[in-house]
Structure 1
Amino acid sequence: MAGPRSPWGTTWLLLVFMLVNFADKAVLGLAGPDLMRDLDISRQQFGTAQSAFFALFSLAALGVSYLTRTVRTTVLLLAMALLWSAAQLPMLWAGAGFATLVATRLLLGAAEGPAAPVAVHHVYGWFAQRDRTLPTAILMAGAAAGVAVAAPTLSLVIEWWGWRWAFGAVGLIGLVWAAVWWRYGTEGPLAPEAGTAAEDGVGGADGTQPELPLRRILASGTFLSACVATFAAYWLMSAKLTWAPDYLETVMGWSGRQAGLAVGAVALTNGAALLLHGLLAQRSATRDGRAAPRVRQGAGAGLLMLGSAAAVALFALSDTPWLTTVLMFGPLSLAMVMMTVGATACARITPPSQRGIVLGALTAVFALGGVLAPAVLGRIVDAAPSADTGYRNGWLLTAALLAVGGALATAFLRPQRDAVRLGVPEHDLGRAPVAH
């Protein structure tokens, strides 16, 4: 069995990191109905509080990802986990109101913005390029697992002890993870050493790959299409995370516990889709790394997004309860594959020493979906003559975004072609691949 200081041991530790990360995000949506009643705030105000989480999210993702050049990722990950807990625990105070909620969500967003790019960059230090799809999928599945575990668990916490203790619970769990990471977290043998990146166009003495002008990477078709597609996928995820509990209670007539269980079960299907895709991609790479796939990875993910767009549109227009339930537990999850494909594609076209920055830039762009989706959908629902009509309009807008992202990914997400054009070799240089 892999120990904690091994490729897969590190992957499992970071899976828990991502699980806590998304439990932190989910708590506000799950506490939403009770919180809005107790604090006497509107849906638009609630959407504003949720959007506050993402106000500094993108800036922090860029800034902290840039620090990966000079600061070890083990230190950055530990600091983030501690800040998460510091941001959640003030809501335990009985006097904490709307202003405290917004302030703590701002801090939480700043601390969690860099989480995904730094975690992915760290785990890539343990795996060679061809082996990265499955560990990336596992980390991305942490989002689904976080919601799947948090939704029913925090729903029970809210029912038994009140919504404030839901914030307290995730804060305490973050402290536990930080203590474990302090003991076991370490850099992988393929990680670029902080502060020793090669200059643009000049290889390092140890065989490190020369860096490229960032503008060339950021202007590539692969990076730009990955940004649009992951933005749309993240918009869908943020919309469901924020508004699905209220939608299921207000429009579908479900109880709070039923809504929490449903959101958790839907999250499990998201995770299953990511893991299945990762396993299939890993199997393909292991079977024959030289064989060209029948469908390009980017095109395949783009087609899945188009299928998800059609499912969301049907979900919005259907009045049949069994059909909307079936759509929730499958087709709506297809777009999430793009989160894995986008990250691995951008890593493929980037020299290792610049990988953290490029992954941070990708996160900064797609996180805007998290900024906009809660507020925009909240405004659409509040402005509509009924919640039913408002949610229908909001889901149709989401379907349109997914269709655009899927079409662009199908046409332009070509990491292998762009890597060759940029001169980025397929495997990490200077070190042997990790056995695992």
Structure 2
Amino acid sequence: MDTTTGVVRHPGPGHAPGVRRQAWTTTWLLLVFMLVNFADKAVLGLAGPQVMAEFGLTRQEFGVAQAAFFGLFSLSAVGVTFLTRRVRTSVLLVLMAVLWSVAQLPMLWGAAGFGVLIATRVLLGLAEGPAAPVAVHHVHGWFPQEERTLPTAVLMVGAAAGVAVAAPTLGAVISHFGWRWAFGAAGIAGLLWAAVWAVKGSEGPLAPPVGPAARTVSDGPGVDGIPLRAVFCSGTFLTAALGAFAAYWVMNVKLTWMPDYLQSVLGWDLGQASTAVGAGAIANGAVLLAHGLLARRTARRGTPGRLPDGAGAGLLLIVSACAVTVFATVDVLWVRMAMMAGPMAVALVMLTAAQTAIARIAPPRQRGVVLGALVAVFALGGIVSPLVLGWIVDGSATVAAGYRNGWLLTAALLLVPGILAALFLRPERDARRLGVPRAPAVGAPVAH
């Protein structure tokens, strides 16, 4: 503590090797957390043809099962993130992991039917809704503002890597042990992570205080009086939410329907489809990691980019929209695969850009709530996309024609938010307007 000011000084990750090491250990653990989280989401898509065959479902009915996951997803994302002001995020993370793991296990029961599947997907969504905002809020407690893009990108890489690992691994489980054991394997993995986190997880030195201690701490002059509606009505929040909605839409469309598309339209077997989906997920992770590394390099050099902050992510949505259009309309197989493994993936940069931008304009103690609201908005893409794509495919003359129309709709949904984000996603400008200072620099005073 500084004896003249009474302010506690926390060594930042860049100045204290022990703190820096713990910061990245926490980041890697949360990478695995996100990996398991998205492996859970991938299970139903990978098992889709077998589930539809066993339960006699149409694609629209299967879309209902996928959408059930998001039934309480957005509500829990907002509700649980309000708890970040009262409960330590390290505790919330382990509780969520245990709950979502337990939600997978009932499908091991041979008599569990479509109703049980719906119920477990709703419970899974309830547990996983707050996962991303709470994980990002937690990791931001270990890094100052200028260093947050890379660890945030690493967590989003976990989302992509979850699919990359899950696709071939769970595909093999389905082939050898049946689709029900894919749910069991995902549940066991989650319980193992929870056990490790219960021992290793801890709060960062820049984490805002919670509970009664929070009432005696100020985020800074003027910051405490910023109403949430001012943050939510800013151009940055609105365009970040729309852009993340579009990115989440395309991610869930690929996760839910790409295995069925590759098998039903292109005639691939489960192994080929799983490998292709995994390769696409690796491309997603590579794009996210490259973006995080470039952002860190720019921050360390202290030189602004050539584009306004936020504009680059919007332009990448536009590039992804063009790639989806090519994927839908060009009948050359290698071109389609190149689009899936390359340009279609760049839309996911918006998930990282949106969260770091939102964290910039939110007062520290409100950060978890604002991130939760962001997730609640973009998660609607996960609710709507399985239903809409299933409805389009079932209502078309052929499955191939239905998927083509669905991909073209996806391209349009990427294009419009991309244009808006390129024009209006300006976190630094909106932070100055709202009066939100930057997070303390490395080694700077942090009031607690």
Task: Say whether 1:153 aligns with 2:169.
Answer: yes
Contact 1:209 1:429 in 2 (8 A): no
Task: Say whether 1:109 aligns with 2:125.
Answer: yes
Query: Which residue identity is paired with 1:269?
Result: A
Alignment correspondent of 2:305? 293
Separation in 1, partners of 2:417, 2:96:
30
Deviation at 1:287, TM superposition (A): 1.1
- When residues 22 and 205 of structure 1 are mapped into structure 2, their CA distance, relative to the original with a 3 A threshold, is closer
Separation in 2, partners of 1:381, 1:197:
54
Task: Say whether 1:368 aligns with 2:380.
Answer: yes
Deviation at 1:30, TM superposition (A): 0.3
- When residues 85 and 3 of structure 1 are mapped into structure 2, their CA distance, relative to the original with a 3 A threshold, is farther
Task: Say whether 1:172 aligns with 2:188.
Answer: yes
- When residues 13 and 152 of structure 1 are mapped into structure 2, their CA distance, relative to the original with a 3 A threshold, is same
Separation in 1, partners of 2:434, 2:141:
22
Deviation at 1:382, TM superposition (A): 0.4
Q: Secondary structure at the match of 2:266?
A: coil
Separation in 1, partners of 2:18, 2:67:
39
Separation in 1, partners of 2:389, 2:413:
13
Contact 1:81 1:175 in 2 (8 A): yes
Deviation at 1:4, TM superposition (A): 10
How far does the alpha carbon of each residue in 1:118-141 deviate from its partner, in whole angstroms, 9 at most, with x for none?
000000000000000000000011
Alignment correspondent of 1:70? 86
Alignment correspondent of 2:13? none
Task: Say whether 1:240 aligns with 2:254.
Answer: yes
Identity %: 63
Query: Which residue identity is paired with 2:289?
Result: L
Task: Say whether 1:7 aligns with 2:23.
Answer: yes
Separation in 1, partners of 2:181, 2:400:
31
- When residues 211 and 164 of structure 1 are mapped into structure 2, their CA distance, relative to the original with a 3 A threshold, is farther
Deviation at 1:85, TM superposition (A): 1.1
How far does the alpha carbon of each residue in 1:378-436 deviate from its partner, in whole angstroms, 9 at most, with x for none?
010000010100000000000000001100100110000000000011223897389xx
Contact 1:207 1:429 in 2 (8 A): no
Task: Say whether 1:182 aligns with 2:198.
Answer: yes
How far does the alpha carbon of each residue in 1:244-280 deviate from its partner, in whole angstroms, 9 at most, with x for none?
0000001111111000010001000000000000000
Deviation at 1:2, TM superposition (A): 7.2
Alignment correspondent of 2:59? 43
Which residue, 216, 238, 254 being the options, matches 2:268? Answer: 254
How far does the alpha carbon of each residue in 1:24-67 deviate from its partner, in whole angstroms, 9 at most, with x for none?
00000000011111111111111000000001000000000110
Task: Say whether 1:270 aligns with 2:284.
Answer: yes
Query: Which residue identity is paired with 2:255?
Result: L
Which residue, 69, 82, 91 being the options, matches 2:98? Answer: 82
Cα RMSD after superposing both structures: 2.0
Query: Which residue identity is paired with 1:407?
Result: I
After superposing on structure 2, the runs of 4+ consecutive aligned residues of structure 1 that deviate more than 2 Å are 1-5, 195-199, 202-211, 427-434
Separation in 2, partners of 1:203, 1:159:
56
Q: Secondary structure at the match of 1:13?
A: helix
Separation in 2, partners of 1:203, 1:105:
40
Which residue, 107, 110, 114 being the options, matches 1:94? Answer: 110
Q: Secondary structure at the match of 1:297?
A: coil
Query: Which residue identity is paired with 1:321?
Result: L
Alignment correspondent of 2:135? 119
- When residues 177 and 75 of structure 1 are mapped into structure 2, their CA distance, relative to the original with a 3 A threshold, is same
Separation in 2, partners of 1:281, 1:325:
28
Which 5+ residue runs of structure 1 have no aligned equivalent? none
Separation in 2, partners of 1:426, 1:300:
21
Task: Say whether 1:136 aligns with 2:152.
Answer: yes
Alignment correspondent of 2:323? 311
Which residue, 40, 48, 52 being the options, matches 1:32? Answer: 48
My pick for the range that moved more, 19-28 or 425-434, is 425-434
Task: Say whether 1:325 aligns with 2:337.
Answer: yes
Separation in 1, partners of 2:382, 2:23:
31
Which 5+ residue runs of structure 2 have no aligned equivalent? 1-16
How far does the alpha carbon of each residue in 1:182-228 deviate from its partner, in whole angstroms, 9 at most, with x for none?
101110000001125867xx972999952510000000000000011
Deviation at 1:157, TM superposition (A): 0.3
Separation in 1, partners of 2:232, 2:79:
16
